[in-house]
């Protein structure tokens, strides 16, 4: 996966809490190099730690494009990163990234912008991302951008994504055993996932530091599986998260004044592709009640595609370049053919 340096135009990155994807893209839309590395969320790692993690993945991607020894900065870098919630984040990360000299021009955005650009065929709309976290961004047809801070309960996010659902699953398992809650299969499946005999031993393991707190986030999938099997307690917990995701989308549609338009609503992140289809259906149903013209699209390509497309936009690349990149990366699957 290599090409002459003259054809290489952009570095595109999508960085989250657990992983970072980097693509090296040619001016004709050719995917020349790629790599996946550790998470690069500055809220977890600090600015320099996040940029170090990003840099290690960029080095791998450049190496896969045959550019490991090239010292000249590439023309453009588009860095769509989790934790970029305020203008000050864009400024600080932009300065830190610029100081590394990877690219002559650096564009820093929240990672939801990558999902929106990759998924919205019209180029504008709303994106809801629900993985370990939950966030939403909106881009109006005239270019107006609206977003949420996404700082969990501090910013009013009462059910902030899969991390919340995973911790909730443990709580529901414990309550089903101590009389505070209804019976649920989670009392068996939660400890089984963590190779523990019962929910109480999971709690003790977390308390003693034997189980990293972050391992609880994996339980979101366990809760989704329980909901898919018809467990009423799990279904209720998932519905709470779906309500929050839908509320974000409908609020964003209202802020952009798109209620009477046909906005594309891009749904991305691992929980939208989980075993329980009721989660996505709940979001669609709730959003459609407020915006009947909404068209829902699910991203089946990696979000870094959106970062790369933003790069091609900035470079003034022709439509053929965008189409070429999409062909290589996978396509958006519309749920509404209209």
pLDDT in tens, 52-69: 999 999 999 999 988 865
Residue 272's pLDDT is 93
Radius of gyration of the CA atoms of the chain, in A: 21
Residue 206's pLDDT is 98
The torsion of the CA quartet 67, 68, 73, 79, rounded to 10 degrees, works out to 90
Concatenate the DSSP letters of all residues of 80-143 into one string.
Answer: EETT--SHHHHHHHHHHHHHHTSEEEEEEEEHHHHHHHHH-TTS-EEEEEESSSEEEEEE-TTS
For 264, the token pair is 């594309």
Residue 71's pLDDT is 67
pTM of this structure: 0.88
Query: Is pLDDT of 338 > 60?
Result: no
Residue 3's pLDDT is 42
Residue 84's pLDDT is 93
**Cα distance between residue 180 and residue 82, in whole Å:** 36
DSSP state, residue 5: G
**Cα distance between residue 279 and residue 233, in whole Å:** 14
Sign (positive or negative) of CA dihedral 211, 214, 215, 217: positive
pLDDT in tens, 143-184: 999 999 988 888 889 999 999 999 999 999 999 999 999 999
Nearest of 333, 330, 338 to residue 309 by alpha carbon: 330
Query: How many whole angstroms from its chain centre is CA 231?
Result: 27
Residue 78 in contact with residue 11, Cβ under 8 Å?
yes
pLDDT in tens, 266-321: 999 989 988 899 999 999 999 999 999 999 999 888 999 999 999 999 999 999 99
Fold for the domain defined by 5-120+301-334: Nucleotidyltransferase; domain 5 (3.30.420)
**Cα distance between residue 318 and residue 174, in whole Å:** 56
Nearest of 249, 260, 294, 329 to residue 122 by alpha carbon: 294
Percent pLDDT > 90 in the chain is 81
For 144, the token pair is 């107006």
DSSP state, residue 69: T
């Amino acid at each position: 996966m290599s090409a002459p340096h003259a054809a290489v135009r952009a570095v595109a990155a999508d960085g989250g809490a657990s992983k970072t994807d980097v693509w090296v893209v040619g001016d004709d839309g050719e995917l020349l190099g790629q790599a996946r590395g550790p998470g690069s969320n500055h809220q977890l790692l600090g600015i320099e730690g996040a940029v170090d993690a990003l840099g290690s993945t960029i080095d791998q991607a450049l190496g896969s494009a045959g550019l490991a020894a090239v010292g000249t900065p590439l023309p453009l870098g588009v860095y769509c990163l989790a934790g970029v919630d305020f203008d000050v984040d864009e400024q600080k990360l932009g300065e830190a990234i610029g100081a590394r000299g990877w690219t002559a021009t650096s564009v820093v955005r929240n990672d939801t912008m990558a999902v929106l650009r990759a998924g919205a065929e019209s180029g504008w709309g709303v994106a809801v991302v629900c993985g370990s976290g939950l966030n939403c961004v909106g881009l109006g047809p005239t270019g107006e951008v609206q977003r949420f801070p996404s700082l969990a309960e501090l910013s009013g996010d009462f059910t902030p994504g899969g991390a919340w659902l995973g911790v909730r699953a443990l709580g529901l398992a414990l309550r089903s055993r101590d009389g505070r809650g209804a019976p649920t299969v989670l009392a068996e499946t939660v400890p089984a996932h963590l190779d523990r005999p019962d929910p109480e031993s999971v709690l003790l393991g977390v308390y003693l530091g034997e189980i990293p707190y972050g391992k609880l986030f994996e339980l979101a999938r366990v809760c989704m599986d329980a909901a898919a099997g018809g467990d009423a307690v799990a279904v209720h917990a998932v519905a709470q998260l779906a309500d929050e995701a839908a509320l974000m989308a409908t609020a964003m549609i209202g802020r952009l004044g798109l209620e009477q338009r046909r906005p594309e609503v891009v749904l991305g992140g691992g929980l939208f592709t989980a075993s329980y289809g009721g989660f996505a259906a709940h979001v669609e149903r709730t959003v459609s009640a407020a915006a009947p013209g909404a068209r829902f699209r699910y991203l089946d390509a990696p979000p870094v595609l959106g970062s790369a497309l933003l790069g091609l936009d900035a470079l003034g690349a022709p439509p053929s370049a965008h189409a070429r990149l999409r062909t290589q990366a996978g396509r958006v699957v519309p749920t509404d053919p209209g």
